[in-house]
Structure 1
Amino acid sequence: MRGKKGTRPPIVLRGYDRAQVDALLEEIRGALNGGPPLTADDVRARRFDIVLRGYDPRTVDELVSECIRELQAAGPIRERAGRPRVHPGWLVSWIENARFPAVRMRMGYDVRDVDAFLERVIAGLRGAAPPVTPADVRACIFRTIRLGPGYDVQEVDDFLARLADALERR
């Protein structure tokens, strides 16, 4: 599937299955051009396998989010109002598939702290632990590491901002 500017999402070592992504994007294109209907919730419910030499997940997630906005804009008026609700199953999958760039020679967040917090969020979404609120996400603080394996601070902060927004829409 070619994006709006005629390019494909970048291929990375471990990414989303290209055939699955292409099939969904074709379905979306068809729905936007008068083909079989497809709702934003249908798109949110889709999951992609992680495979070797797949599409970059971040780029695909951004593209799919843009497609969801287009489907909502083209949908019936009753489906257009307000921000869409986020399904907990989609949210769990999105969190589980999150990948952050590693840093070693500059300051980064402690990998264990970030991973433990995201596991806590997932447990809350699944009902196995108290739910994590958007305020909890905004208030979380991680240890920083300077010379060891860590996650890129800006990438994690950006993800957490999107996570807090998504939790508000549950």
Structure 2
Amino acid sequence: MRHDASVARELKITLGESVVATLAATVSTLVLEVPVWAMFVGWISYFTRGVNLRQGLINLTCVFVGLGLGIAAGAATQVLTPHLGSATLTAVVFAVSVLVLSLRHLPVFNNLLGFFLGLVAFFASHKPPSWSAFTELGLAAAVGAAAAGIAVVLQRLALRADARA
């Protein structure tokens, strides 16, 4: 009997998390017109370290920093390509890697996974480096991180209610 209750609880939690993810994807696409995959970058970032609101915000901030670094790398690539040719990629990747890997030594905002999620999100978008790209991808990531936070809160509420029953 105990096993049945555990399975039922897990099913409730899974369905609840799925509803939250579905709503976030729908709002991202139909209301905000931002890419769903970028929303899931924010969702993933929420879970990279410490599953609570404070860490979720820190993780999301690291994604924003990564987006900014990606945009800067894209702009640097555009500027340097006429001068360095095919060596531009090597120079830019090296410079960005040194910078990102150095950021892990910051006291709070030091989530390497968050930085790299932001970088990858920018380059995967194939958008030109711009504030518009930052806004669109950052908004999508923020929706995803918020949705992940809501999913965690709902999970905790379900577990508490189940413990009281």
Question: Which one has a bigger Cα radius of gyration?
Answer: 2
| Highest RCO, 1 vs 2 (Cα 8 Å, sep ≥ 6) | 2
Q: Greater share of helix residues, 1 or 2?
A: 2
TM-score when normalising by structure 2: 0.29
TM-score when normalising by structure 1: 0.29
Q: Greater share of strand residues, 1 or 2?
A: 1
